């Protein structure tokens, strides 16, 4: 048993974009991926779930190898046990909240009856405080409720790693603070290793403990949140941390 949750070293080509990703995540680590638009953050997440096939490299999730170009081995997405929330949360619009979660419960418990699976699905919804929305379709849920349902659904598939692609970007500005603090509490409670793409300084500060800066398809720096803010290596990072290399950013951070 290793203490890392994720170890990635892959090269992926998607269209004209080349991703050269090296990343290692600790067992309960929450890592933020930041970087300018087009630096490959979302492609990195989609590569991990198996939507893009790397040209070469290895991906380990915990102590399981899910991709190795040398063997060759490429587990299909359904066998990787990686929870993934896209920017818009990816809820199935024709299914109720409970049916959305039941879809994931069924993967782990195919032998259960439909009512047993729905019962478990409602328990997951209840755990995140949205059991009241069980019969409603995603189209009538608020942004915050959608995020909770999507999170409940991802958890119902019992993942060993959680990927969140800009979890706040689909929300109205006014509700972000509240949703963010709920998400923070939930992630801290779950103790599930998490890799999240972030665009806002506030998201990184409250949701992550370490941060990787991406540029042109590669990770250029990884550090703790405090450290990264102290010495931003690129122009983008300076702007992101709302500081400049000459200033003393600690004061800004507090």
Is there binding between residue 108 and another protein (CB under 8 A)?
A: yes
Q: How many residues does the chain have?
A: 254
Nearest CB to another protein, comparing residues 64 and 108: 108
Residue 173, C-beta contacts closer than 8 angstroms, at least 6 positions apart: none
CA distance 65 to 250: 40
- CB of 82 or CB of 130, closer to another protein: 82
Looking at residues 145 to 184 of the shown chain, list those that interact with another protein (rule: CB under 8 A): 153-154, 156-157
* Contacts to another protein from residues 194-253, by CB under 8 A: none
Q: For another protein, which is the closer residue by CB, 42 or 206? A: 42
**Structure tokens belonging to residue 10:** 């892959």
Binding mask 36-65 for another protein (x = CB under 8 A): ----------x--xxx--------------
CB of 55 to another protein, least distance (A): 19
The answer to whether residue 114 forms part of the interface with another protein (CB under 8 A) is no
Nearer to another protein, 126 or 202 (CB): 126
Closest separation in Å from C-beta 61 to another protein? 12
CA distance 77 to 69: 16
Task: Indicate which single residue of 38, 55, 92, 202 sits in contact with another protein (rule: CB under 8 A).
Answer: 92
Which range in 20-28, 130-138, 188-196, 197-205 contacts another protein by CB under 8 A? 130-138
Burial 157-179 (b: 16+ CB within 10 A, else e): bebbbbbbbbbbebbeeeebeeb
SS3 assignment, position 181: helix
CB of 124 to another protein, least distance (A): 12
Return the number of the residue (30 or 153) whose C-beta is nearest another protein. Answer: 153
Assess contact for 69 and 58: CB atoms under 8 A: yes
Are 145 and 133 in contact by the 8 Å Cβ rule? The answer is yes
Residue from the set 39, 47, 96, 194 that interacts with another protein by CB under 8 A: 96
Own/partner pairs, 9-14, CB within 8 angstroms, 24+ separation: 9/57, 9/58, 10/47, 10/54, 10/56, 10/57, 10/58, 10/59, 10/67, 11/54, 11/55, 11/56, 11/57, 12/43, 12/47, 12/52, 12/53, 12/54, 12/55, 13/55, 14/43, 14/52
Least separation in angstroms between CB 153 and another protein: 7
19 sits near another protein (criterion: CB under 8 A): no
For the chain, what is the radius of gyration of the CA atoms? Answer: 19
Kindly list the residues in this chain that would bind another protein in the complex (CB under 8 A): 46, 49-51, 76-78, 80-84, 86, 88, 90, 92-94, 96, 98-99, 103-104, 106-108, 118, 134-137, 139-140, 153-154, 156-157
């Amino acid at each position: 048993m290793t203490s890392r949750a994720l170890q990635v070293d892959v090269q992926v080509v998607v269209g004209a974009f080349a991703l050269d990703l090296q990343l290692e995540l600790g067992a309960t680590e929450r890592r933020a991926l930041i970087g300018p638009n087009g630096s490959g953050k979302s492609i990195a997440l989609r590569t991990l779930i198996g939507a893009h096939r790397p040209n070469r490299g290895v991906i380990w999730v915990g102590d399981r190898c899910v991709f190795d170009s040398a063997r060759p081995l490429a587990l299909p997405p359904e066998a990787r046990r990686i929870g993934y929330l896209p920017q818009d949360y990816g809820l199935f619009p024709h299914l109720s909240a409970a049916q959305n979660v039941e879809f994931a419960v069924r993967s782990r418990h195919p032998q259960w009856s439909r009512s047993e699976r729905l019962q478990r699905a409602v328990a997951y919804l209840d755990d995140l405080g949205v059991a009241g929305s069980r019969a409603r379709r995603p189209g009538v849920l608020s942004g915050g409720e959608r995020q909770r349902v999507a999170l409940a659904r991802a958890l119902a598939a019992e993942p060993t790693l959680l990927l969140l692609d800009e979890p706040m970007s689909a929300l109205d500005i006014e509700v972000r603070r509240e949703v963010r603090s709920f998400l923070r509490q939930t992630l801290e409670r779950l103790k599930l290793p998490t890799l999240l793409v972030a665009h806002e300084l506030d998201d990184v500060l409250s949701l992550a403990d370490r941060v990787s800066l991406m540029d042109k398809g590669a990770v250029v720096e990884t550090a703790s949140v405090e450290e990264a803010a102290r010495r931003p290596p690129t122009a983008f990072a300076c702007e992101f941390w709302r500081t400049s290399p000459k200033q003393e950013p600690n004061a800004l951070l507090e």
